[in-house]
Amino acid sequence: MTRRHGLCTLAVSILALSGCSPGGSSPPAPGVGDSPTSPPQTERAAITALDAPTFTIRIPIALIDAGNPPEGALTMRAAAEDREPEGPQSFDVLDDGGFLIADPLRERLLEYSADGTFRRAVPIDVPASSVTVIGASQVEVVSAATGVIQMFNERGGRVGGPRTESAISGAGAPDVVLDSAQSGVITWPNAPGALAPPRPELKVTLPELGQRLASLQVIQSDAADEVFVAMESTDAAGRTLIELRKTVRRYGATGLLEAEIRNIAVDNYIAPNTEFRVLRGVLYQMYSREKEVLINGWRIR
């Protein structure tokens, strides 16, 4: 249960990707990556556009009420009239590329290798709605039933007492504001005592006419490095039925748009609390279906 802490260094250059789906490299669309710090559009490097995941790992889900689920399977309670399905909502990526997925109905964490092979179950006495790997051997878990935050070691032992504030959310969290129907601005606060100025603000703009930016989220950022943002957009003007598309972009240290993953699946069977993780230039998405959880991955470096 180890994971490298912090972000990897990213070479800001034209991306050469392997295993990409259609598109490959394409020129930037008008309006994309309008950052105050980005060079004029004619000087921009070509961005990489992806659709289908580079890889997909499948983890089976068994019904909690149907006898004894297999040890290595996640568990769920199926949907019923006026009742959403209940089951795994959160995951994190380990240092070796394996996964840790919360199995709240059996109050445990399940560890899988990078190819999806079941490694072990870590019993915790908490129905976890969120799990985050901290350092080499600890995980932070949020209880679905109480909202209380608790640290556990790799054997499932409690580390310290329950808390109400996360150890990983911090004062350095960026501020995200939609400033128009088609754009948003991300700003980073001054770190206390830091000599270097904060990262310049990043302007994120939808290029497509008729599209509306519904929400903007920073998945991962580092003041000196790359930024991954998730965007929800719609072309239905948001009337009578909610229909969205999801896009993830990676911006380089200078605010240059470098890669874009489009048409990310959003019709989860069980809605995730933790949908995306990034490790070493790979974007991971947890996506649930009725009988399995998929971990989709895009290698965008």
Partner 1 sequence: MAGVFGSPACVVALTMVAIGLALPCKTEAQPLTPVKRAEMIDVARQMAEFKWVPSTRNLVAACVSNYRTPWRPGEAVTGVAYDWGGMDSLEVFRKRLASGEAAGSHKAEGSTRCTAGVDCSGLVSLAWRLPRKFSTSDIQTVSTPLNVNIFTELKPGDVLNKAGSHVVIFSSYNRDGSINVYEAAGQQSRVVLTRTRWSRLQGYVPLRYKATTD
**Interaction mask 14-53, partner 1, x per CB under 8 A:** ----------------------------------------
Of residues 28, 23, 21, the one with CA closest to residue 208: 28
Q: Is the dihedral of CA 208, 212, 218, 223 positive or negative?
A: positive
Instruction: Choose, by CB under 8 A, the member of 46, 136, 145, 173 that binds partner 1.
Output: 145
The per-residue b/e assignment along 101-136, b for 16 or more CB within 10 angstroms, e otherwise, is bbbbbbbbbbbbeeebeeeeebebebbbbbbbbbee
User: Counting contacts by CB under 8 A, is residue 178 touching partner 1?
Assistant: yes
The residue among 44 and 77 lying less far from partner 1, judged by its C-beta, is: 77
Query: Which stretch in 4-12, 20-28, 152-160, 234-242 sits in contact with partner 1 by CB under 8 A?
Result: 234-242
- Spatial distance between the Cα atoms of 153 and 140, rounded to a whole number of angstroms: 9
On whether the CB atoms of residues 135 and 95 are closer than 8 A, the answer is no
Please select the residue that binds partner 1; options are 104, 252, 255, 297, rule is CB under 8 A. 104
- Report the residue number, 193 or 239, with the smaller CB distance to partner 1: 239
Structure tokens at 49: 């556009």
141 is an interface residue for partner 1 by CB under 8 A? no
In the list 43, 82, 115, 165, the residue contacting partner 1 (rule: CB under 8 A) is 82
Q: How far apart are alpha carbons 99 and 284 in whole angstroms?
A: 10
What's the distance, Cα to Cα, between the start and end of the chain in Å? 24
Stretch touching partner 1 by CB under 8 A, among 6-14, 34-42, 110-118, 240-248: 240-248
CB closer to partner 1, 255 vs 272: 272
SS3 state at 43: helix
Nearer to partner 1, 15 or 105 (CB): 105
CA distance linking residue 225 with residue 10, whole number of Å? 7
Q: How far is the CB of 146 from partner 1 (least distance, A)?
A: 6
Q: Specify the residue for token string 């994120």.
A: 204
Q: Binding to partner 1 by residue 195, rule CB under 8 A?
A: no
CB of 264 to partner 1, least distance (A): 9
Main-chain phi, psi angles of 256, to 5 degrees? -80, 130
Smallest gap from residue 15 Cβ to partner 1 (A): 26
**Cα-based angle 111, 228, 256 (whole degrees, multiple of 5):** 150
Neighbours of 171 (CB within 10 A): 8
- DSSP code at position 224: T
Q: Does 219 bind partner 1 (CB under 8 A)?
A: no
Residue type, 54: T
81 scored as a contact of partner 1 (CB under 8 A): yes
Does 201 participate in binding partner 1 (rule CB under 8 A)?
no
Positions that interact with partner 1 (CB under 8 A): 65, 77-84, 86, 89, 104, 125, 127, 129, 144-147, 175-178, 184, 212-217, 232, 234, 237-244, 246, 266-268, 270-271
